[in-house]
Structure 1
Amino acid sequence: MNIGFVGLGAVVETAWLPALKRLSLPMTSCWGYDSNPQRTLPGVTRCESLQALLARPLDTLCITTTSLQHLPVLEAALASTVPRIVVEKPVAATLAQLTHLRELLTLPEHAKRVLALDHWMARDGALCLALGKMDTRWHPEHSNEAALLTISVDDIVGIEGFLLEPSGFNRAGEPIALNFATGEPDTRQLRHPDGVILDIGTHVLAMMRETVRYLGGDDSLELQLITAKDRLGTPIAYGDTQTAEGEAHLQGNLSGIPVNLWLNKYAGPGVERKGISIHLRDGRIIRQSRVPGGERVELLTGEKALSWTRSGAIYDHCLGEHIFGPHSLFVRAPLEVAKLTQRRIAEVEQLLQLQQALRGPH
């Protein structure tokens, strides 16, 4: 297996490469290119240009650049012979880019090669519990039954999605982001459009929509922005096309179900909540959350809680189950690749429209 990376930044260093190492995938070669000539990573053979990388005999190309560069790189990749192209979230960063991306993907030979990645696609514990199919990946914390309930979308009265990330402080006492994989200070200077609405809102939406879809829901989605603030807690001003949102609350409906999304990259030291809560008509709640070392899924009935856990990093599960290997999505369900990408595009479009309404046309 020959893998190529375009963009050799923090997400590759702290998430992709460690996951590939832990998975022990049969990787023959790993090449990479970055527009910064000083940026290199151990185990990645650097190419001097994007064209040189695309000329390699790649099995999979991973586009891990900044979000604004995803589309230009993807367009070049589609002109090459690379058979599989995986684009980190968000698949595009502006409404104009989305329009052009849709044009590119109208060609079937293009669409089947492009997978819009969201690594939360591997977070399927809430779905497994809702279907009554907690498989062997999930370990009961007590003597839970293997199949406790089977619900459909009609049994759901509301869904909440959370992505609250722990943060630190700089010398001035201002909140700073931490790297999600290492916990170290994130040195990036985030700018619009890479605030929480687009950058991490995509995660929550992908998890919620995939769960609802497999419970029998449709792809309808309507969202409105309730609040949006910057890193220091100041509301985003109309006309501001530079400042990234640090916190946001989104509200709407998904397949007719009321939803709330709570996003915060600066939730405070030790504050971390990443997942969804599905509220059922009978009062029970299905909840999935990240916990130290893995995931926990719970079925809450009043004061009673049944729970299951799964160990491992999100990228390990995502890359191992969906992107690489003999049972990747490209192999087991090739027709789903284009459909999944279209769902990710629709979500990004909604989030970008919210940003446009918040800041004004730009």
Structure 2
Amino acid sequence: MKFGFIGLGAVIETAYLPALKRLNVPLEHCYGFDVDVSRAPDGIQRCESLDALLAMKHEMVLITTSSLWHLPVLEQVLRSEVPRIVVEKPVAATLEQLAHLQALLAEPENATRILALDHWMARDGVAQLVRGEIENDWQPEAGAALVSPLIASLADIVKIEGYLLEPSGFNDKGEPVALNFATGEPDTRTLKHPDGVIVDIGTHVLAMMHETLAVLGADNQLALTLVEAKDRLGHPIAKGDIATAEGSAHLRGQLSGIPLEIWLNKYAGPAGGQKGIRLYLRDGTVLSQDRLGAGEVLEILQSENVHRWTLNGAVYERCLARCILGENSLFVRAPEQVSHFTQRRIAEVTALLQLQQQLRGPH
């Protein structure tokens, strides 16, 4: 497959390229462009302009620029003949951009070409439990079994919780500093609004929640309120502050009528690392998926009984294999679903951006 990346920043080197190499995807037909000429990752053949990249008639283009540039780049790609366009999260960066995006998607030929991606939508272990079938790549621990369907409808669910609590380190002043999600090295960037946790990592948790509930027919009705938001040093975000990034946040709301809560923290310290969801059922059963080291842990908790499965591998690798590449691509195995995935991502980003407006005031 001939494919191209537009935007060659850190996510390419720390996530995409390692995943492609682990999946043994040939890179001789992998091209890229970035306005920053210093960005030239090994393995990607760099094009001199975006027009030059698009003229190569790629089978797929992935938009991996900074979020504010997703929509302008997408508009240019739509004028080309590229049949499959994948846009990294968040699919757009402002409410105005989202409204314009929806106008573009109103054209049927556009809606079938554009997949709004969040790699956590491939973290589908709880969704498999909800469907009543666990795929063979999940390894059961002793006695683990799914003996009967656990859920018949959304009415069986009491609430859903999500969390992304990232480990962090400390600088020479003893202040918390974020760690790169892929390398574990200190993240030297100074994050500013709008790149705080609400939109930066809240998208991941909502995508995992939404795809899980979509198995039962959940719609895109999503409403969020903010319980608390603090900056990197633990200070509240003041109304009117449109500069300081949120370092942590607690969200509450409803998704398709199901109560939800989300905890986000880029500075959870050495005890961080929890990344997943919990689904609470009316009969007391809890379905849980979390990261553990380099893999996933899936559990059914019923009173004193715990059924557990594990799955090794990076999330980006799983996402590329299950959603983007070859015959497993959503464009191939479920083309009629591509627009639905994109609309779910739009609903999530819309709710998060509205929350930022409530937190900081109109801006």
Deviation at 1:30, TM superposition (A): 1.0
Alignment correspondent of 1:226 = 227
Q: Kindly report which structure 2 residues correspond to 1:333-352, keeping only aligned pairs within 5 A, or say none.
A: 333-352=334-353
Structure 2 counterpart of 1:120, which letter? W
Deviation at 1:118, TM superposition (A): 0.6
CA distance in 1, matches of 2:271, 2:280: 26
Is 1:193–2:194 an aligned residue pair? Answer: yes
* Structure 1: unaligned runs, 5 residues or longer: none
Structure 2 counterpart of 1:325, which letter? G
Structure 2 counterpart of 1:241, which letter? I
Is 1:98–2:123 an aligned residue pair? Answer: no
Alignment correspondent of 1:168 = 169
Q: TM-score, normalised by structure 2?
A: 0.97
Q: Are the counterparts in 2 of residues 25 and 325 from structure 1 also a CA contact under 8 Å?
A: no
Alignment correspondent of 2:53 = 53
Q: TM-score, normalised by structure 1?
A: 0.97
Q: Deviations over 1:92-148 (max 9, x none)?
A: 111111111111111111111110001011111011112221120111011222444
CA distance in 1, matches of 2:36, 2:88: 19
CA distance in 1, matches of 2:109, 2:88: 20
Alignment correspondent of 1:139 = 139
Alignment correspondent of 2:121 = 121
SS of equivalent to 2:269: coil
Runs of 4+ in 1 over 3 A off after TM superposition: 146-149
Alignment correspondent of 2:10 = 10
SS of equivalent to 2:226: strand
Q: Deviations over 1:276-317 (max 9, x none)?
A: 011111111110001112101001112321100111110111
Alignment correspondent of 1:112 = 112
Deviation at 1:26, TM superposition (A): 4.5
Alignment correspondent of 1:180 = 181
CA distance in 2, matches of 1:76, 1:245: 32
Alignment correspondent of 2:243 = 242
Give the direction of change, closer, same or farther, for the CA distance of 1:304–1:63 in structure 2 (3 Å limit). Answer: same
Q: Are the counterparts in 2 of residues 134 and 147 from structure 1 also a CA contact under 8 Å?
A: no
Give the direction of change, closer, same or farther, for the CA distance of 1:170–1:214 in structure 2 (3 Å limit). Answer: same
Deviation at 1:53, TM superposition (A): 1.4
CA distance in 2, matches of 1:36, 1:272: 32
Deviation at 1:242, TM superposition (A): 1.3
Alignment correspondent of 1:202 = 203
Is 1:356–2:360 an aligned residue pair? Answer: no
CA distance in 2, matches of 1:193, 1:147: 45
SS of equivalent to 1:326: helix
Instruction: Give the length in aligned residue pairs.
Output: 362
Structure 2 counterpart of 1:273, which letter? Q
Q: Are the counterparts in 2 of residues 119 and 318 from structure 1 also a CA contact under 8 Å?
A: yes
Alignment correspondent of 2:253 = 252
- Name the % identity: 62
Structure 2 counterpart of 1:85, which letter? I
Q: Are the counterparts in 2 of residues 70 and 92 from structure 1 also a CA contact under 8 Å?
A: yes
CA distance in 1, matches of 2:81, 2:186: 39
SS of equivalent to 2:308: strand
Deviation at 1:28, TM superposition (A): 4.1
CA distance in 2, matches of 1:62, 1:223: 29
Alignment correspondent of 1:326 = 327
CA distance in 2, matches of 1:170, 1:203: 27
Structure 2 counterpart of 1:31, which letter? Y
SS of equivalent to 2:322: helix
* Structure 2: unaligned runs, 5 residues or longer: none
